[in-house]
Amino acid sequence: MTKPSAPSVALRYAAARVAAVKIPDPYNMTKAEFLNPRPPKARSGYQLLYHVTSNDAARDIARNGLLTSYSKSPPKGTIWASTKPDDFYGKGRRGALITFQVPKRGTPADQDPYNGVRWDMGENSVVIWRDIAPRDIVDIDLWDSTGMGNNRLSWLRGGSRYAEIYWDKWFGPRQKGKTAARPIRLPTREIKTLAKRLAQRLYQYGLPKPGRVIAQEYLPLTNVMGDEVVVEILLTGTPGRNHDPFSNELLNGGFLKRRPEGPVMRVFVNPHLDPRTFEMRPRRIVEDELYRLLAHELTHAADVWSGKGSVGDLSGSMDDLKKHHHNHPAEVRALMRDVVSNLDDGDTVREFMGYGMDFNTALREALKDTKWPDIEPYLTPRNKKTILKGVYTFLQDQGLDEVAR
């Protein structure tokens, strides 16, 4: 088989670069997702191949694709794979299982020299003369070693009688020390869609009168206990008792109330804002404001805590009130979500790094445009560390892994 020329491979590979598959992360899964893993599936016209490597290499593969530079097997510049997940490597082989897709054998795409796949390398054995782009990485199954067993995560999840015990022991909601430093998982795409609908309603009907509801929506989500929760969301004018005549803000905050039938959330819109001021705001800005407020309050809806709320003594000073409010366990998780939402999936940090900044400098600059400068003075040292660790972990999940120690 003729090996394709380097320039054509480089150009075509670069064009195919997209976000890679997410490594299964139990800390970001619900219990239902953990216990019911979806089997890897190739897209139409493609078939699955398998490659085993170390967990560390797997994390790079999740971001960059499967590169020939990772492989140490001869011939140089190739990737060895198998048509079956176990037969080629043996069932006892430790390591992460990389599942990827290539054009089916014998198809016109398979005949393209760029495909670079040789099937006649022995029983179930395949060698590939090119890199595999991130979009063709279908699944990454890490090897995990704990007291509950030693195998790939998929075995511990779906194929083991220890699965529920394993979840409860290592990743369940009782493991607060392990899960506290991660943002609570939310259906981000659905929340952004909801924010667009609420913005459309505002532009359609105008600013609501005090206490008047102009939109009612419902959003299902999974809380930290793994239970399905349906949140009722009301877009309403800020009640007169909460009126600030000097406020130039569109949104006056939100309020979440827990009920046996499910939480209800109120999004308060400033009814006294000058209509011309509202009309001059770009719709994108309004949608972004709504999204961030929704994400904050929905973090409360997905969280589970006991004890008193986070309001505190209203008769005290504003500084004392903020110290009490910001350091409440439930509020720490919501404030972490605020900072993460401001960072736009890591794009802000990436942009600063593109100017030549190292990760730490880029993050410090990015944090200046988040809520962090406003909340940091009121946090305890422990809660500062918790929020920053959650931000670091979030950015690491987005492929920015030069994390400050």
Q: Mean pLDDT throughout 100-123? A: 87
Confidence at 5, pLDDT banded by 50, 70, 90: very low
> Up-side HSE of residue 257: CA atoms within 13 Å toward CB?
8
Q: Looking at residue 150, what is its pLDDT?
A: 66
- What pLDDT shows up at residue 279? 83
CA dihedral 273→277→279→283, nearest 10 degrees, is -90
pLDDT at 39: 84
Answer yes or no: is pLDDT of 310 > 70: no
Bond into 282 cis (ω within 30): no
In angstroms, how far is the first alpha carbon of the chain from the final one? 48
Residue with tokens 């064009």: 15
Classified as helix, coil or strand, 191 is helix
Give pLDDT tens digits for 7-30. 333 333 333 334 456 676 665 667
- Which residue, chain included where needed, has tokens 């088989």? 1
Say which residues have a Cβ less than 8 Å from residue 170's Cβ, sequence separation at least 6: 26, 146, 148, 178
Nearest to 272 by CA among 205, 209, 202: 209
What pLDDT does 376 receive? 92
DSSP structural state of residue 170: I
Looking at residues 242-267, what average pLDDT do you find? Answer: 83
Is residue 67 predicted with pLDDT exceeding 60? yes
Long-range contacts at 372-379 (CB < 8 A, ≥ 24 apart): 372/339, 372/342, 375/326, 375/335, 375/338, 378/319, 378/322, 378/323, 378/326, 378/327, 379/326, 379/327, 379/332
Query: Which letter, b or e, does each residue of 145-154 get, where b requires 16 or more Cβ atoms within 10 Å of its Cβ?
Result: eeebeebbbb
User: Would you kindly state where each structural domain of the chain is located, as residue ranges?
Assistant: 6-172, 188-397
Q: Is the pLDDT of residue 190 over 80?
A: yes
Weakest-pLDDT range from 30-34, 96-100, 101-105, 109-113:
30-34
Is 115's pLDDT higher than 60? yes
Percentage of the chain lying above the pLDDT 70 cut? 78
